[in-house]
Amino acid sequence: MVTWEMAAMKSALLFVALFTSAVAPVAHSQSRKEIIAGPVEVADQRISGSFKVVESDRSGIESNGSGGACLVFSQSRSGSQTCRQDSDCSPDQQFAGGSAYCLHQGKAPQGRCWTRPAETPATPYCRRSPAAPLPLDQDIVFPVDAAGKLAPVVSARPGWWRVHACLNKAPGACADPANPDKMTSDGPPRKLP
């Protein structure tokens, strides 16, 4: 026979169980990560780059690990004209059809313009994964051919080259210059004679 006290205790335990399960944290596939742009490699006037995505504690952003990187160019080691955002820049004249980026040093409000040349299947300058996570803690080299093998850019123009990498906080954020839901990283400039 169930007494009033037993029924009250069961009700209280059921309430506690329901309440704690309702406020328990939900596991997310996203965690704090950061993207690190690597150096530009040069061999026989052919260039390639690398980057990596790593788990992070404080300096990263919540991300599923998607993003990518591109090789960017400037005639000057520090970039061309000053800028505050990508729309302040225009591509270098020798790279018609390319894209321009305003790269900032740290949290400086002003940056300098760099150009990503226009891509063709024969001359890819980027490696992107807009939604799918990239591998963690490994150097990701690019550009790659259709088989996924490293295919350095042939006859790259003389000037300064670097890797510009981007990590999505929200899938596809790196493709939208005005979207703040991303983290960028820029590798060291390297001169190609």
Residue 16 has a pLDDT of: 32
* Backbone CA torsion sign across 120, 46, 89, 84: positive
Residue 29 has a pLDDT of: 58
Backbone angles phi, psi at 162, to 5 degrees: -155, 170
Alpha-carbon span 70 to 49, nearest angstrom: 8
0.85 exceeded by pTM = no
Alpha-carbon span 143 to 38, nearest angstrom: 13
What is the pLDDT of the chain when averaged over all its residues? 83
Region 80-99: mean pLDDT is 90
Between 41-55, 100-114, 157-171, the lowest mean confidence (pLDDT) is in 100-114
Between 20-24, 39-43, 135-139, 159-163, the lowest mean confidence (pLDDT) is in 20-24
